[in-house]
Chains A and B, each alone.
Chain A
Amino acid sequence: MLTLTRSVGETIRIGDDIEVHVVEVRGGTVRLGFKAPREVAIHREEVYRQIAEANLLAAQVTADSLGALAAFAPSAAVSEAATERTDDSA
């Protein structure tokens, strides 16, 4: 891994179009600013990892349970309740 030492107000450039600015250093915390093309997503590592793990689990869903899952939608419950009310009034 490349390691560089930078001070507040200094910048690191990655490739042609990504800049990382050291905005503030306080105690053990560093605040960074980023300039990057719009298509480059910037995440905190732990959040990115959580999303990737959730996606990997999500890719394992099978078609077995579609009916049961659809019934969890509150809109389905509402329409069923409306039907029941209609039946009561009839």
Chain B
Amino acid sequence: MTPPSIATLSAPACAPAPVQHRVPGPAPLQVQGLSLAEPLPGFPGHRDYVLVPAEDGGRLFWLQSVAPDGPRFLAVPAGAFFPDYSPRPPEAACDELGLGDVADASLYCLVTVPDGDVAAATANLRAPVVVNPATHRARQVVLLDGSHPIRAPLRR
């Protein structure tokens, strides 16, 4: 049985910090299976996804549920679009994913294109999908630090 963790909403973040997250790539064109520790909020029941490159530059990926008619998201490697982005996921989330050092994680942010207006596209920096690239386990982690926007413009 998994030992329980203590979490309060002011839980300590992963040490050490600040950190530079690894930018996935260069342009890994292979499909990577991801097993989510918890379904994405809003999409209960979907834990098994594949991460598929959406273009050749390693900047856009589809996060696609393996289930028939399952959801599909556009995800960007955080470092490719937001080089200064260095969040500190809660320690419990890192432990659960087997990440001894958060710098080992790959971070992806989900993209929204409001009404198909590409110029208004945003990425969710508040809740990145944190991936342990060694185990392919992942989860969307809601950062306790509210300074990271849910809708950060991709075009800057």
Contacts and interface: CB of A to CB of B under 8 A. Distances in A.
Do the two shown chains form a genuine complex with each other? yes
Interface of A: 17, 23, 32-44, 47-48, 50-70, 72-76
A51 B9 contact: no
A39 B5 CA distance: 9
Given A38-B5, A69-B121, A75-B59, A61 B73 contact: yes
B80 interface: yes
A56 B38 CA distance: 16
B116 A76 contact: no
Contacts of A35: 4-7
Q: Which of B41, B81, B83, B113 has the most CB of A within 10 A?
A: B41
Given A38-B92, A51-B41, A58-B110, A65 B116 contact: yes
Interface residues of B, number: 50
Interface in B13-66: 37-38, 40-43, 54-55, 57, 59-60
A22 B154 CA distance: 41
Contacts of A63: 54
B124 A54 contact: yes
A55 B110 contact: yes
A61 B55 contact: no
A60 B103 CA distance: 31
Contact of B154 (A32, A42, A69, A75): A69
Contacts of A66: 54-55, 60, 74
